[in-house]
Amino acid sequence: MSKQDVQETTHFGYEQVPVTDKASKVADVFHSVADKYDIMNDLMSAGVHRLWKRYTIETSGAKKGDTILDLAGGTGDLAAKFARIVGPNGLVTLSDINGSMLENGRQRLTNMGIAGNIEYVQANAECLPFADNKYDLITIAFGLRNVTDKDAALKSMYRVLKPGGKLMILEFSKPVVPGLSTIYDQYSFKLLPLIGKVVANDEDSYRYLAESIRMHPDQETLKGMMDEAGFERTSYHNMTGGVVALHTGYKF
């Protein structure tokens, strides 16, 4: 059998799919959930996702005049806060690979009166269309697990980050509190798809989201991947017993 006959695969949730198909499958999920994304986030996390994001912003070190890239920024939760922090002399780039999510973010921030220091760019995190050494800060919240080639994405982020700049990855991770994994599994695989079915009429997409969390690298593995991509002083902070972790790294 030749190499051409063996098609490389990757995971889409628990399903193995051709590498070339994953991005479009993930896109279908987020096209489907875009209009209910904010409501579902509140229901899925009982509103705790807002605290996770607030902690990310508070520890970001963002300041007036900064250039910030919010990757997989979806409906703009982080971008809206950062736009107010950086002020008129700063710039926030809200980027998402999914056009439906990005448009929802644009409409939401426009309705909030945020304009002038924010731009919207549809882009794949694996091959960012930005100049080298452009951003003071890069954030990606609950998006890295959906990227097909995470190593390529991390290297792309490193390239566009300024020397002295900071990367922050907020993502679901592996619970570290004894007994929490069992409770978390029951919630993720029974209650979460049911919520998706009732609220968003989309049980399958929310089952995928639960599965994608389980397939994401654990805390130490992701830290090692950041090290391999060139980031220094990498660390992570567990929240809610490790259900979520905030990874940080710097480019020097």
Domain topology for 9-177+206-250:
Rossmann fold (3.40.50)
Place of tokens 């259900």: 243
Does the annotation flag 240 for ligand binding? no
> What is the helix (H) or strand (E) element at residue 220, kind and residue range?
helix 219-228
Give residue-wise pLDDT tens across range 106-147. 999 999 999 999 999 999 999 999 999 999 999 999 999 989
Q: Is 130 helix (H, G, I), strand (E, B) or coil?
A: coil
Does the annotation flag 151 for ligand binding? no
Give residue-wise pLDDT tens across range 224-234. 999 999 999 99
Q: How confident is the model at residue 3 (pLDDT cuts 50, 70, 90)?
A: very low
Q: In the chain, pLDDT over 90 holds for what percent of residues?
A: 60
Note the pTM of the prediction, 2 decimals: 0.86
Give residue-wise pLDDT tens across range 194-220. 877 877 777 777 777 778 877 889 999
- Distance (Å) of CA 67 to CA 73, 121, 144, 166: 15, 14, 21, 11
Does the annotation flag 148 for ligand binding? no
The ranges assigned to domains in the chain are: 9-177+206-250
Give residue-wise pLDDT tens across range 88-100. 999 999 999 999 8
DSSP string across 177-209 = STTHHHHHHHIIIIIHHHHHHHHHS-HHHHHHH
What mean pLDDT comes out for the span 33-43? 69
Round to whole Å and give the CA distance between 166 and 168: 7
